[in-house]
Amino acid sequence: MFESLKGFGVTFGTMFKKVVTEEYPEVKKVTAPRFHGRHQLNRHPDGLEKCVGCELCAWACPADAIFVEGGDNTEEARYSPGERFGADYQINYLRCIGCGLCIEACPTRSLTMTNEYELADDNRQDLIFTKEDLLAPLLPGMEQPPHPMRLGDNEQDYYVNGPRLAKEAQQ
Amino acid sequence: MTIAPDKPNATELVVPEGHVKLVIDGVEVVAPKGELLIRTAERLGTVIPRFCDHPLLEPAGACRQCLVEVEMGGRPMPKPQASCTMTVADGMVVKTQLTSPVADKAQQGVMELLLINHPLDCPICDKGGECPLQNQAIAHGRSDSRFHEHKRTFPKPINISTQVLLDRERCVLCQRCTRFSAQIAGDPFIELLERGAQQQIGVAKEKPFQSYFSGNTIQICPVGALTSAAYRFRARPFDLVSTPSVCEHCSSGCAERTDWRRGKVQRKLAGDDPQVNEEWICDKGRFAFRYATTGDRIKRPLVRDKESGELRESSWTEALQVAAAGLAAARDANGVGVLTGGRLTVEDAYAYSKFARIALHTNDIDFRARPHSAEELEFLSGTTVFTNPDNGVTFQGIEKAPAALLVAFEPEEEAPIVFLRLRKAARKGTKVFHLGQFTTPAVEKTFGTLLACVPGAEANAINALPEHASDVVELLSKPGAVILVGERAAVVPGAFTAVARLAERTGAQVAWIPRRAGERGALAVGATPNLLPGGRHVANAAARLEVERTWGVEEGSLPATPGRDTTGILEAAASGQLSGLVVGGVDPFDLPDPRLAEKALAGAGFIVSLELRPSAVTAHADVVLPIAPAVEKAGSYLNWEGRRREFGTTLEGTGSLPDCRVLDTLAVEMDADLFTQTPAASAADLARLGEGAVTGSSLNVAAPLQSPAGPGKAVLATWHRLIGNGSLQVDEPHLAGTARPVVAKVAEATAQQFGLVTGGYVTVSTDRGAITLPVETDDLPEGVIWLPTNSGDVTVRATLGAGHGSIVSVSGGTS
């Protein structure tokens, strides 16, 4: 008799505790600011890509989730400052374990992680994100590559004086 | 050459004659006199960091990275010494970075200095991941730099050729590239310029900028200063799979390393084979591989549609049925001829040879898709087919030869690695004689002597050697002397006879060096009208019986009379004496008479073509069977030495089939068993046959007297360039840019006679057509004009229907 009352006691007591159930997806969870979510390929202030296709992210990846192929910037088609750009960039989210080693490896801060965690799908193909899926959106003042370097004459201007030159360009 | 035992005191090291005893890091070691310290240490297992040192280049001491502490006769040398330039001496005490803090600090200091102006390019540099500077900076460098000023910069990169890119900021001035070019290749096209901090590698302005070996400088560059346009930003070393392979281009059979990623070859590097190519390969071997992945590659069997007359894709079953039925019908009518082309592996050529004999019942098979002669066949089938590295000329034999006579052979263009060996030998004192038409770059670079003659008169020139150049004969009489004969000798009547007589007289060894990788192997397996595999003559009943028993075919079933050669097969096909053709990788425009070839292809009743890409043959073929390129199959080539150069499949699982497999299945459809389902099976079947008895050749072709060319005419000299219009060089724009300029060459007097000026144009014509191209003067014999055979717009065979030794009309032309 006492035993069953004890059981109801647990139920009754729980009614007054904080609810742990999440109302996802109606209510989206706000993650910690440094949560390792979907990757993003960043851009320079004029819209050129920061990725140089060096494959260091692919090298660092313990899950072999990243595929990169470099390409040659030409005068006619420029995607990044300097000689090299990432011609093909793919992250396989079926493999990615979100460890963030790729972010640490990136020499140009091109690859960062967003807080977006909604990475589920009903087929494998759609979980291989390509460069188009990963590139950061164009902000005001940015221009879709290919286009010539707008912030300076060479890549040094981008890496050393990038933010200042961007500000000057806006004024 | 012994390493000291653990207890040096227990047993005294024996020092052989010509050796010295020294101490490295406290270990006693015996080394041959003249050995460099860096190598002695390496034998002990101590790797001293280095950039400029390369075992095949002369010491330079340029980078100063290999500093060690040296003590001589109990007295330490005041400063650390460069171990890559210092030779061992008796009683020397050496301390490397392992035991000497002084040496270690000196090495770290040099590394810091080298890195001062080295840009932080590693993420975008092609060398990143396989860079000696990167590796050694981690192993022997400081963890941070004390240099905070601005680095010296140069505009970058600069194209020093269409293929080679130079980034001067990355250069550590080790001079490996300049030393390679000057010492090994003999093309000093890059040199050190300026002084001090501005010192840099640059292109010499006054020298024409061409080298067939420029790719080697990229490979030996210890930093990413030299990179290739073809491999630029393609991949990283960690995502490449490296497979050892053998070059499929010329007959040298160089060891290569093929690096591929995701089923696509990204680059080729020279392998290390001291007996063959040492550590070098030519640019064609390195850069020409994209022919296998060009868009128009044939991947499915094609069958000519009866109604539309067009080729349409079909299943293998259907294509093989149609091919087998067509070939069987043609065989039972007038017979079928087989043209294999000169680029097959031994295993594939063997399948063709066996297919011709037991499925087509014919000896009408020839591998020579180029000008050829009966005299050549006699020479090859009696002499060359029995040579191998044990009894014939080898690369190392060339290096040791007192003299070499090159007959109708342009080594740099036809077999570049033979050229490198000749140059290496010549630098050590080998006398090289070139029997040719003018002082080509190869003559200069082998410090050779030109024995100039009119094209076609090579045989007369050889016969006249004892009379007019007794010194040459004398040198050739020394033991070890060699005579190298090129494929062009086939168009010179009497050349092989003259060479054989000269060899008999002098005792010099003769080697035949064809241009294509598969020719020597095709000869060995009997893809010729007069030979069965192993050099057995078809007319020899005992040899035939041996082959019949091994093959398990009915005795007396092999055809006993020698068949037709390439021209004979084409003539017969054109006139209807043959009803069908089986054609391997043959370009009709390489054949002595392209017009006859066209006629034969149009006239032959039934044609089966085994091809990679659409060609002039597939345009006429009734059935086209796709086959695998070299990287997608296993096999072996016999190089010109007769050395078997085996290689495995580089790209697995592509679904393409080697020729031997296709022919095996085709033969089964025709109720004959070849047992060549795989290259390994084919090789095993061939091995069961073994070699036939050595026969020897009876050559007796008189050298004809040259008749004068006549007014307005000249004698044509011509040969193929290494980089030209070859079908394995398609889709390689960067490589094509390094080809030598397409010009005609004439003597000064001839130029005046025809009213030609250097820089002007000349028109060379026959009754078939005319070619107009720029003209230059050189030291040719009078009345001779030289053209590249197949370069750019100049297609001598296709346009003129002419060849080496033909008479052509010459006139001053306009552009």
Q: Would you kindly state where each structural domain of chain A is located, as residue ranges?
A: 33-136
* Residue in the block written with tokens 């200063």: B225
Residue B477 has pLDDT above 90, yes or no: yes
User: Whole-model pTM?
Assistant: 0.93
Q: Which CATH architecture has domain A33-136?
A: 2-Layer Sandwich (3.30)
Contact residues, chain B to chain A, C-beta under 8 Å: 122-124, 128-129, 156-157, 232-236, 238-239
Q: In this predicted structure, which of A28-37, B184-193, B301-310 has the lowest mean pLDDT?
A: B184-193
Contacts of B211 (CB under 8 A, 6+ apart): B161, B181, B185, B187, B189, B283, B738
Q: How far is it, in rounded angstroms, from Cα B761 to Cα B776?
A: 9
Residue B191 has pLDDT above 90, yes or no: no
Quote the tokens at residue B503: 């060899």
DSSP-assigned beta bridge partners for residue B510 = B483
Q: Is A113 annotated as a binding residue?
A: no
In which band, very low, low, confident or very high, does the pLDDT at B135 lie, cut at 50, 70 and 90?
very high
Amino acid letter, A41: L
Asked whether the beta carbons of A53 and A66 are under 8 A apart, the reply is no
pLDDT given at position B736: 92
Give φ, ψ of B95 to 5 degrees.
-120, 120
Residue B415 has pLDDT above 70, yes or no: yes
* Residue in the block written with tokens 């202030």: A45
Mutate to test the interface with B, among A52, A72, A79, A83 (most CBs of B within 10 A): A83
Q: Is the dihedral of CA B661, B665, B666, B672 positive or negative?
A: positive
pLDDT tens for each residue of B642-655: 999 999 999 999 99
Distance of CA B617 to the CA centre of its chain: 26
Task: Choose among B156, B234, B236: nearest Cβ to A59.
Answer: B236
CA–CA distances in Å: residue B356 to residues B360, B552, B802 = 5, 16, 30
Quote the tokens at residue B479: 């033991």
Range B84-98 average pLDDT: 95
pLDDT tens for each residue of B648-700: 999 999 999 999 999 999 999 999 999 999 999 999 999 999 988 888 888 88
Q: How far is it, in rounded angstroms, from Cα A44 to Cα B46?
A: 47
Quote the tokens at residue B414: 């036809």
pLDDT given at position A106: 96
Q: Is the dihedral of CA B558, B562, B563, B565 positive or negative?
A: positive
Asked whether the beta carbons of B806 and B763 are under 8 A apart, the reply is no
A residues 77-116 lying closer than 8 A (beta carbon) to B: 82-84, 87, 107-108
pLDDT tens for each residue of B719-767: 999 999 999 999 999 999 999 999 999 999 999 999 998 889 999 999 9
Angle at which helix B346-354 crosses helix B659-669, to 10 degrees, equals 20
Residue B805 has pLDDT above 70, yes or no: yes
> Quick check: B236 and A71 CB within 8 A?
no
> Quick check: B123 and A58 CB within 8 A?
no
User: Using omega within 30 degrees of 0 as the cis cutoff, is the peptide bond preceding B411 cis?
Assistant: no
What are the DSSP calls for B224-237, one per residue? SSEEETTTTTS--G
Structural domains of chain B, ranges and CATH numbers in brackets: 19-113 (3.10.20.740), 153-293 (3.30.70.20), 314-370+520-689 (3.40.50.740), 376-514 (3.40.228.10), 713-813 (2.40.40.20)
* Residue in the block written with tokens 């109606």: A26
Give chain A positions within 8 Å (CB) of B123.
52, 54, 56, 107-108
Q: Which of B233, B230, B119, B226 is nearest to B165 (CA)?
A: B226
What are the DSSP calls for A48-113, one per residue? -B------HHHHH-TT--EEEEEEE--SS--SSSSSEEEEEEEEETTT-----HHHHH-TTS-EEE
Q: Is A44 annotated as a binding residue?
A: no
Q: How far is it, in rounded angstroms, from Cα B35 to Cα B85?
A: 10
Determine the distance in angstroms separating the CA of A65 from the nearest CA of chain B, rounded to an integer: 13
Range B9-38 average pLDDT: 89
* Bridging pattern class, strands B761-765 and B770-777: antiparallel
pLDDT tens for each residue of B483-519: 999 999 999 999 999 999 999 999 999 999 999 999 9
Residue B159 has pLDDT above 90, yes or no: no
Mean pLDDT of chain B: 93
Among left, alpha and beta (phi > 0; psi -120 to 50; other), residue A51 is beta
Give chain B positions within 8 Å (CB) of A107.
122-123
ipTM: 0.86
Q: How far is it, in rounded angstroms, from Cα B439 to Cα B656?
A: 45
